[in-house]
Amino acid sequence: INNKIKSITFYNLADIPVSLFLYKNFEKKDIQITGLYEKENQIIIRMRYKKKRDESFLEIVFEKNPFLMKKWTIFQSPTNKVEVLLNTLMINEKNLVSSFDIDKEDPRPKVFRNN
């Protein structure tokens, strides 16, 4: 969901590299680590799903001290990426289901929605 330009984009789960973590049969042998970097207070890991034949990959950025995930970026092609920044990460807190209500956050006019 992009509230700034009032749009929402849907992807088939199989088409994005983050899907490799979401399958129930997730196995380490299916992942190729293509980069591991340390920069200041960060650890950056780049990985790709071996079964995908395209150029897509996933980059995860961790803060070293304290050790926390700060961002992940999905690179779908050299010109297309999706970044997710984790600003106020809460650990071991109860999540409110309403926080993940896409229909509530959808910026499109109701006429263009699927429901």
Answer with the residue of higher pLDDT: 75 or 16.
75
Angstrom distances, CA of residue 41 to CA of 36, 65, 74, 87: 14, 7, 21, 16
On whether the pTM is more than 0.85, the answer is no
In a domain, 103, yes or no: yes
Give the range of the structural domain holding residue 96, as residue numbers without chain letter: 13-112
In a domain, 79, yes or no: yes
Query: pLDDT tens-digit profile of 24-65?
Result: 666 788 888 999 999 999 999 999 888 777 788 889 999 999
DSSP state of 7: B
Tally of domains in the chain? 1
In a domain, 3, yes or no: no
